[in-house]
Amino acid sequence: MSAITASKPPGACPAGEGNWRFRFWAPDARQVELVLAGQAVPMWAAGDGWFEVETAAVEGARYRYRIDGGNEVPDPASRWQPEGVHGPSALYRGDYTWRHDDWRGRPWREAVVYELHVGACGGYVGVRAQLPRLAALGITAIELMPLAQFPGSRNWGYDGVLPFAPANAYGTPDELKALVDEAHGLGLMVLLDVVYNHFGPDGNYLGSYASSFFRAGSHTPWGEAIDFGQPAVQGYFIANALMWLEEYRFDGLRLDAVHAIEPTAFLHQLRKAVHAALPADRHVHLVLENEHNQASLLRGGFTAQWDDDFHNALHVLLTGEDEGYYGDYAPQAAAHLARVLGEGFAWQGETTPRGRVRGESSADVPPERFVAFAQNHDQIGNRACGERLSVLVTPERLRVAMALTALTPMVPLFFMGEPWAAREPFLFFTDFQAPLDEAVREGRRREFAHFAAFASAEARRTIPDPNAASTFEASRAPWPAGDDALAGAWLAWFGGLLALRARELMPHLDQARPLGGRVIGESAVAAGWQLGGAQWWIELNLGRATLPSALPPGRDLLRTGPMEEGELPPDRLRVRRVGP
């Protein structure tokens, strides 16, 4: 078979009695040798570009593959790269003893997601130390930014080149498993962001021995396009997804930029393989990032999609920014937000102001299929200086943003530091060697040349160098000290939002049906949902004038600031329950 199967995965696997089986796809090679602990072992051609061998080895032994007697490369399915992307691979058995072996996950309607960068939180051990406080706050799921082995000691993770190897900069594979195990003991789901649409620019050797892994003449914004029509390629990424879900026991995957994966049929192939391989009683969630707003994928079995429309329309209302992709939302930001609240996506097949036809009809898709956020790694880190909303808007407007995110029937996501209104930036950071370091720095600065604030070369030079260690250090958001009164007040308020969601909203999400969203004034929106026998209403005003309340009579569950009955002042949000 040319496809990788669960019984014959790629890479190195224990084969019993002290032996290990090695499988390597190199269709461009005439011969391949396994170089194990300095000794060359010939591999036999198994057909369809596959080379295999079984031989005695010990855990931790270093190995590479030698192509046609020349270059030696790491295993593209390496489970452990202790010396980085250019070093040898290491044998890893994965014999971790799980303490919470009966964990089966949680239903998606219970998800309140906290996205974090493992390196900025102190590695696997550092994240594990934060888990009890996150659980006590009301977070029910953590989402780790990508872990695939990347070049150097710091990276967002989207430059990974060895997707089976957890980044050695953050700790060992067993420490990652201990993090997941600890989270499960606290009732937390753990989701992992995976990147299947591209490889990073440094350390990917596949093109030198498996050129058909990529589509000739086809490119993505990140490099050569991967050929998902190849059975071996399909199997490679399916095996990777199953490794994270089975061996590391992640509760789900966030699939990065699936609009760059072609053909789309691979996504359904992946979804079916995951559900076929895992027990029926496990809750496993597959969440998409998809600029194409393909609601059909959500009807077709995927759990949810990150809803950029929610963020973009809300951000324009909060900040007034209208450059870049915010230009698609600025002319009618309130109407876009109202449509998101009432129907899921703002763009459902229309042509945007920038001339793109985007989206599919989503009005029939349940609200919990959409992940709502006012901030995430992209929306903060892709700003030139990485500013958070806590720096860009007033506390009153920030409360509106956080409350709206927490209290719609969509699934809320919050970014690292957001619960205490952290003010540290989250910048774009890398650790590339010359000359790639300069190319990335200058490329990053050119991205902002069309923004008014960075029109001059002098202004662009103020944009932090992604490769400087100080850029990474500035992006840490440590848990606030116990005597930080301001952070403590934000944490208490944020915890109250999640408690309200858990008590009043979460138990009824299976029944949530939108009643529609509408514009009620300049930069003001109201929306409602039917929750069984009751209704849930939200109204918010980010305009300049006090408006009459647009909600039907009922019981107010939250007001983000002082307001008179029947009125909605500027920079305020109200949540109301109507009915029993």
> What is the set of domains in the chain, with CATH numbers?
11-90 (2.60.40.10), 112-501 (3.20.20.80), 511-578 (2.60.40.1180)
pLDDT at 395 over 60: yes
In sequence order, what are the residues at sequence separation of 6 or more whose Cβ sits closer than 8 angstroms to the Cβ of residue 523?
317, 333, 334, 541, 542, 543, 544
Write down the pLDDT at residue 216: 82
The pLDDT of 191-197, averaged and rounded, is 98
Band of residue 178 on the pLDDT scale cut at 50, 70, 90: very high
Which two structure tokens, joined as six digits, stand for 396? Answer: 């009153």
Q: Could you give the CA distance from residue 43 to residue 306 in angstroms, rounded to a whole number?
A: 44
Chain centroid to CA 348: 23
Lowest mean pLDDT among 7-16, 36-45, 568-577: 7-16
According to the model, what pLDDT value does residue 1 have?
31
For the chain, percent of residues with pLDDT exceeding 70: 99
Confidence of residue 7 (pLDDT cuts 50, 70, 90): low
What would the mean pLDDT of 517-526 be, rounded to a whole number?
97
Spatial CA neighbour of 81 closest among 204, 168, 163: 168
The set of catalytic residues is: 256, 289
pLDDT at 217: 76
Average pLDDT over residues 26-35: 98
Task: Return all residues near 434 (Cβ < 8 A) that are at least 6 apart.
Answer: none
23 vs 12: CA distance, rounded Å: 7
Q: Which is it for the CA torsion 6, 8, 11, 14, positive or negative?
A: positive
Mean pLDDT of the chain: 96
Q: pLDDT-derived band of residue 4, with 50, 70 and 90 as boundaries?
A: very low
| In the predicted structure, residue 502 carries a pLDDT above the cut 70 | yes
Bigger pLDDT: 172 vs 218: 172
Other CB atoms within 10 Å distance of the CB of residue 37: 13
**pLDDT, tens digit (0-9, with 9 covering 90-100), for 244-272:** 999 999 999 999 999 999 999 999 999 99
Give residue-wise pLDDT tens across range 53-67.
999 999 999 999 999
Q: How confident is the model at residue 5 (pLDDT cuts 50, 70, 90)?
A: very low
Query: What pLDDT was estimated at residue 463?
Result: 95
Label residue 569 by pLDDT band (50, 70, 90).
Answer: very high
DSSP per position, 384-429:
TT---HHHHS-HHHHHHHHHHHHHSSSEEEEETTGGGT--S-----
CA distances from 114 to 416, 426, 490 (A): 7, 15, 16
CB 21 within 8 A of CB 15: yes
pLDDT at residue 179 in the model: 98
Instruction: List the Cα angle 92/97/98 in 5-degree steps.
Output: 120
pLDDT bin (cut points 50, 70, 90) of residue 8 is: confident
- Say what the pLDDT of residue 218 is: 77
| Euclidean distance between CA atoms 527 and 427, whole angstroms | 34
CA end-to-end distance (rounded Å), the chain: 60
